[in-house]
């Protein structure tokens, strides 16, 4: 069903219909020849929901109402069209169309359409694809339920059926190598991914030639962004060949591989504070910046946006558990007397339980309560070239190695960048580094929000932050255990406060199941608050322009 057709010029009218846009232009006049004028009295049904139909309609004058499952959905008027799927395949009507006044329309029957041979001349372009990782996170974070999708799912289902049954071009199916080469071409020809061929070698070159650490940092910073996108594409290709549970674990492991690799590199070099800041920043940037921008973008296109709040509530509960796991060791270290190393040991124990919570969440999402989060159209999707399991693993290994090299250069230059540009390590960890690992997801979430796909935008933002809080954070602590570094969950009081307040704020925004642009603006403003304050955080041994007198002496001097 669609809108916006001109009623005076039949040729222009047909070219506005997506189905007819797939026809050669010279065939369009045939549509005018085969169309029939029909009319309907007020209260008369043009067709009923559930009945089989073989006609396509365009309203010329008058108005009709769309009713689905007995519930009014929308008004249609001059220029609106419906029933184009019936020209290709027999499918039950997904809605009832009833005239609200006298309606005159043009009708094309399937018999006339197919006798003219037009159905054989339709050429469909490739459908826009959405990352499986984003779909999985969307189902987990936003949880579009079956009942909510009924009102809009019928048209989408018919569109997919039409795409599947349309005749394809005659060509031999690609072999094993051809399929992998085509899939690899699709991944690497993406505009963002292509920049890796520029920045990756340049990042290694400036490091080898001994350029300033600031140059090394920024070039490798730009190199890791497309690498994160390529890594995500390889991960989703591998997950395509596994079951849902294993696919979820793969997405959790490799989907945030960039963050984990940078954390391992920093832990190995003893930059525990940078690691903690990076992990905190990834959570904050997803929950405040990405989610805020997505909601704001959606609000620019529409007054309000509804979404399913049940899946979001599940993720926010997990976020709260993760926040408590960070808050308790921080408070324990600050307010109690304890033996040396006890905080680290407590953090390692908590990390083991956190990973257990994440496994239970995956089991809840993908096994015991799949009906709450099921995507009805997912099994019907057809994808073109997909990397084979062997090629996906090979690509994952290669890209992970390249990310390791770039992140090593990036982490080694943090000290110099902090000193040269006067940036605190907290600002680098909380603000800059998370942008690297989440760049591709940022763009996806904002685009989906603007298009009204708020469930998917929520999934990308909230779902990714849940993976980091329950999986990447414990992995970082385990790496500290392996390298004998004091990596723990004792994030500073400021960091812990930011995380807990953020979780409560986002939970409050999502609790009503409806958002508007003001909610998004408020989330972004809070992120700006945190970013501004991290600029002024100095390391304990950093005395740049700081009065190092004891606090009490400074207070006395002030008064």
Tens digits of residue pLDDT in 348-366: 998 899 888 888 888 887 7
CA dist., res. 557 & res. 317, Å (int): 47
Cα 439 to Cα 229, 319, 329, 399, 452: the distances in Å are 8, 21, 31, 17, 20
Query: What is the C-alpha end-to-end distance of the chain, expressed in Å?
Result: 73
pLDDT surpassing 60 at residue 547: no
CA dist., res. 314 & res. 361, Å (int): 9
The structural domains of the chain, with segments of one domain joined by +, span 10-120, 178-376+388-538
pLDDT value of position 182: 83
Q: Are 131 and 447 in contact (CB under 8 A)?
A: no
pLDDT value of position 83: 79
Q: At 96, give phi and psi (nearest 5°).
A: -100, 135
Task: Report the CATH fold assignment for 178-376+388-538.
Answer: A middle domain of Talin 1 (1.20.1420)
Instruction: Determine the average pLDDT of the residues in 75-90.
Output: 80
Written in H, E and C, the secondary structure of 247-307 is HHHHHHHHHCHHHHHHHHHHHHCCCHHHHHHHHHHHHHHHHHHHHHHHHHHHHHHCCCEEC
26-51: per-residue pLDDT in tens? 777 888 888 888 999 888 988 888 88
502-531: per-residue pLDDT in tens? 999 998 888 888 888 999 999 999 999 988
Token duo for residue 332: 């324990």
Kindly report the pTM of this predicted structure: 0.59
Q: Are 142 and 308 in contact (CB under 8 A)?
A: yes
CATH class of 10-120: mainly beta
Q: How confident is the model at residue 242 (pLDDT cuts 50, 70, 90)?
A: low
Neighbours of 117 (CB within 10 A): 10
Most confident segment among 235-244, 336-345, 374-383: 336-345
CA angle 227, 217, 230 (to 5 degrees): 0
Q: Quick one: which of 471, 417, 468, 396 has its CA closest to 438?
A: 468
CA dist., res. 136 & res. 463, Å (int): 9
pLDDT value of position 524: 92
Q: Quick one: which of 367, 375, 381 has its CA closest to 308?
A: 375
456-512: per-residue pLDDT in tens? 777 777 877 888 888 888 888 998 898 888 888 888 888 888 888 999 999 888 888
What are the helix and strand counts (H, E) for the chain?
27, 10
pLDDT surpassing 70 at residue 8: no
């Amino acid at each position: 069903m669609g809108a916006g057709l001109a009623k005076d010029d039949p040729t222009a009218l047909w070219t506005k219909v997506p189905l007819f846009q797939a026809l050669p232009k010279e065939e369009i006049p045939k549509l005018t020849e085969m169309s029939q004028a029909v009319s309907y009295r007020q209260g008369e049904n043009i067709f009923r929901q559930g009945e089989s139909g073989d006609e396509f309609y365009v309203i010329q004058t008058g108005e009709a109402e769309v009713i689905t499952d007995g519930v009014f959905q929308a008004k249609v008027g001059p220029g609106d069209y419906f029933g184009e799927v019936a020209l290709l395949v027999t499918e039950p009507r997904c809605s009832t169309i009833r005239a609200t006044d006298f309606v005159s329309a043009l009708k094309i029957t399937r018999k006339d359409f197919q006798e003219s041979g037009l159905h054989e001349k339709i050429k469909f372009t490739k459908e826009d694809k959405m990352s499986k990782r984003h779909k999985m996170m969307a189902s987990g974070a936003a949880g579009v339920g079956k009942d909510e999708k009924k009102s809009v799912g019928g048209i989408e289902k018919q569109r997919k059926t039409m795409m599947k049954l349309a005749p394809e071009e005659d060509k031999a199916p690609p072999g094993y190598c051809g399929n992998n080469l085509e899939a690899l071409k699709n991944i690497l020809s993406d505009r963002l991914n292509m920049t890796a061929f520029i920045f990756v070698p340049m990042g290694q070159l400036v490091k080898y030639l001994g350029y300033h650490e600031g140059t090394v940092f920024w070039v490798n910073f730009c190199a890791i962004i497309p690498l994160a996108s390529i890594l995500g594409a390889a991960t989703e290709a591998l997950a395509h060949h596994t079951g849902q549970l294993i696919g979820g674990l793969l997405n959790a492991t490799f989907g945030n591989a960039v963050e984990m690799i940078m954390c391992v590199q920093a832990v190995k070099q003893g930059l525990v504070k940078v690691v903690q800041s990076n992990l905190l920043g990834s959570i904050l940037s997803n929950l405040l910046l990405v989610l805020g921008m997505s909601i704001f973008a959606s609000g620019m296109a529409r007054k309000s946006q509804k979404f399913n709040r049940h899946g979001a509530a599940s993720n926010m509960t997990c976020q709260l558990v993760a926040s408590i796991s960070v808050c308790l060791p921080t408070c324990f270290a600050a307010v109690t007397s304890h033996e040396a190393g006890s905080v680290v040991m407590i953090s390692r124990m908590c990390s083991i339980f956190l990973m257990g919570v994440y496994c239970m969440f995956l089991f809840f999402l993908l096994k015991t309560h799949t009906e709450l989060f099921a995507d009805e159209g997912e099994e019907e999707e057809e994808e073109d070239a997909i990397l084979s399991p062997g090629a996906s693993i090979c690509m994952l290994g290669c890209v992970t190695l390249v990310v390791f090299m770039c992140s090593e250069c990036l982490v080694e230059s943090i000290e110099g960048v902090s000193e040269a540009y006067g940036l605190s390590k907290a600002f680098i960890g909380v603000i800059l580094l998370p942008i690297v690992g989440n760049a591709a997801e940022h763009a996806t979430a904002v685009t989906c929000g603007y298009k009204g796909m708020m469930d998917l935008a929520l999934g990308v933002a909230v779902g990714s932050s849940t993976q980091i809080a329950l999986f990447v954070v414990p992995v970082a602590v385990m790496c500290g255990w392996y390298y004998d570094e004091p990596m723990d969950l004792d994030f500073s009081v400021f960091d812990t406060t930011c995380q807990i307040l953020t979780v409560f704020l986002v939970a409050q925004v999502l609790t009503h199941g409806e958002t508007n642009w003001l909610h998004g603006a408020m989330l972004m403003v809070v992120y700006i608050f945190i970013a501004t304050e991290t600029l002024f955080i100095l390391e304990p041994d950093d005395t740049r322009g700081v009065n190092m007198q004891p606090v009490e002496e400074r207070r006395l001097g002030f008064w």
